[in-house]
Structure 1
Amino acid sequence: MKRILLTTTSLVLAAGVAQADVSFSGTAGVALIDDNGASDATRVDMFFESYYDFDITASAESDNGVSVSVGFDMGAGNKIDYNDDDVLEAQGNTVGDADVAVSYNGWTLTVDQAGIDNLFDDTDGAQDVSIAGSIAGWSVAMTSDQEGSTSSYKVGGNVGGVALTFTGTDNDDAGGDATGISASYAMGDLTVSASMSDESNDAEDDTSVGFSYAMDALTIGYTTIKPGSDGSLGDEWDASVKYSAGGMVASFALDEADATTIIVDYALGGGASAFAAMHDKPDTANDLTTVGLNFAF
Structure 2
Amino acid sequence: MKKILFATTALVATAGVAAADVSISGRAGFGVIQTQAGAAAKVTNLINNFDLYFTGTTETDGGVSLSATVEMEGMGGAVSAFSHGNAILGNNNYAKSAAVAPTAVFSAKAGALSFTFGNTDGAFDRSMTEVHRIAGIGYENWAMDSFIDNNDGGNIARLEYAAGGITASLSYAGLDDSTGVGIKYSGDLGGANVTIGAAFESQTGSDYWGISGRAAFGAFSVGAGYADGDAAGPFNGTWNISAGYSANGVMVAAMYGDSDTAGTEMWNLMGTYDLGGGATAFAQYGERQNGTNSIASMGVSFSF
1:27 Cα deviation after fit: 0.9
Contact 1:60 1:68 in 2 (8 A): yes
Which 10-residue stretch deviates more, 25-34 or 146-155? 146-155
Equivalent of residue 152 in structure 1, options 146, 158, 180: 180
Q: CA RMSD in A?
A: 4.2
Q: Which residue of the partner structure matches residue 110 of structure 1?
A: 116
Q: Which residue of the partner structure matches residue 134 of structure 1?
A: 162
Q: Which amino acid aligns with 1:145?
A: A
The 1:52/1:181 distance shift into structure 2, 3 A limit, reads closer
Q: Which residue of the partner structure matches residue 273 of structure 1?
A: 280
The 1:137/1:260 distance shift into structure 2, 3 A limit, reads closer
Contact 2:220 2:243 in 1 (8 A): no
The 1:93/1:67 distance shift into structure 2, 3 A limit, reads farther
Structure 1 spans left out of the alignment, 5+ residues = 1-13, 207-226, 228-235
CA separation in 1, counterparts of 2:215 and 2:283?
A: 32
CA separation in 1, counterparts of 2:290 and 2:216?
A: 37
User: After superposition, what is the alpha-carbon deviation per residue over 1:237-271, rounded to whole angstroms, capped at 9, x for unaligned?
Assistant: 75x55333312112244568985532121111112
The 1:94/1:287 distance shift into structure 2, 3 A limit, reads same
Q: Which residue of the partner structure matches residue 261 of structure 1?
A: 268
Q: Which residue of the partner structure matches residue 245 of structure 1?
A: 247
Contact 1:102 1:108 in 2 (8 A): yes
Greater RCO, 1 or 2 (C-alpha within 8 Å, sep 6+): 2
Rg (Cα) greater in structure: 1
The 1:49/1:280 distance shift into structure 2, 3 A limit, reads same
1:58 Cα deviation after fit: 0.7
Matches within 5 A, 1:130-209: 130-134=158-162, 138-146=166-174, 148-157=176-185, 165-171=197-203, 175-182=205-212, 199-201=229-231, 204=235, 206=237
1:183 Cα deviation after fit: 6.3
1:124 aligns with 2:154: no
CA separation in 1, counterparts of 2:216 and 2:280?
A: 31
Contact 1:261 1:277 in 2 (8 A): yes
Superposition TM-score, scaled by structure 1 size: 0.65
CA separation in 2, counterparts of 1:293 and 1:158?
A: 30
Q: Which amino acid aligns with 2:36?
A: N
User: After superposition, what is the alpha-carbon deviation per residue over 1:10-43, rounded to whole angstroms, capped at 9, x for unaligned?
Assistant: xxxx9886421111111112111112269xxx99
Contact 1:86 1:288 in 2 (8 A): no
More helix by share: 1
1:100 aligns with 2:106: yes
Q: Which amino acid aligns with 1:28?
A: A
User: After superposition, what is the alpha-carbon deviation per residue over 1:205-242, rounded to whole angstroms, capped at 9, x for unaligned?
Assistant: 64xxxxxxxxxxxxxxxxxxxx6xxxxxxxx875x553
1:170 Cα deviation after fit: 0.8
Contact 2:221 2:245 in 1 (8 A): no
1:178 Cα deviation after fit: 2.6
Number of residue equivalences: 246
Superposition TM-score, scaled by structure 2 size: 0.64
Other structure's SS at 2:206 match: coil
CA separation in 1, counterparts of 2:218 and 2:28?
A: 38
CA separation in 2, counterparts of 1:43 and 1:74?
A: 34
CA separation in 2, counterparts of 1:276 and 1:170?
A: 37
User: After superposition, what is the alpha-carbon deviation per residue over 1:137-182, rounded to whole angstroms, capped at 9, x for unaligned?
Assistant: 642111112354321111234899596533111128xx32233445
CA separation in 2, counterparts of 1:295 and 1:72?
A: 20
User: After superposition, what is the alpha-carbon deviation per residue over 1:52-95, rounded to whole angstroms, capped at 9, x for unaligned?
Assistant: 1111111000111011101011131254469x967659595444
CA separation in 2, counterparts of 1:74 and 1:259?
A: 31
Contact 1:184 1:191 in 2 (8 A): yes
Q: Which residue of the partner structure matches residue 289 of structure 1?
A: 296
CA separation in 2, counterparts of 1:149 and 1:237?
A: 28
Other structure's SS at 2:19 match: coil
Other structure's SS at 1:201 match: coil
CA separation in 1, counterparts of 2:159 and 2:250?
A: 37
Other structure's SS at 2:203 match: coil
CA separation in 1, counterparts of 2:212 and 2:122?
A: 17
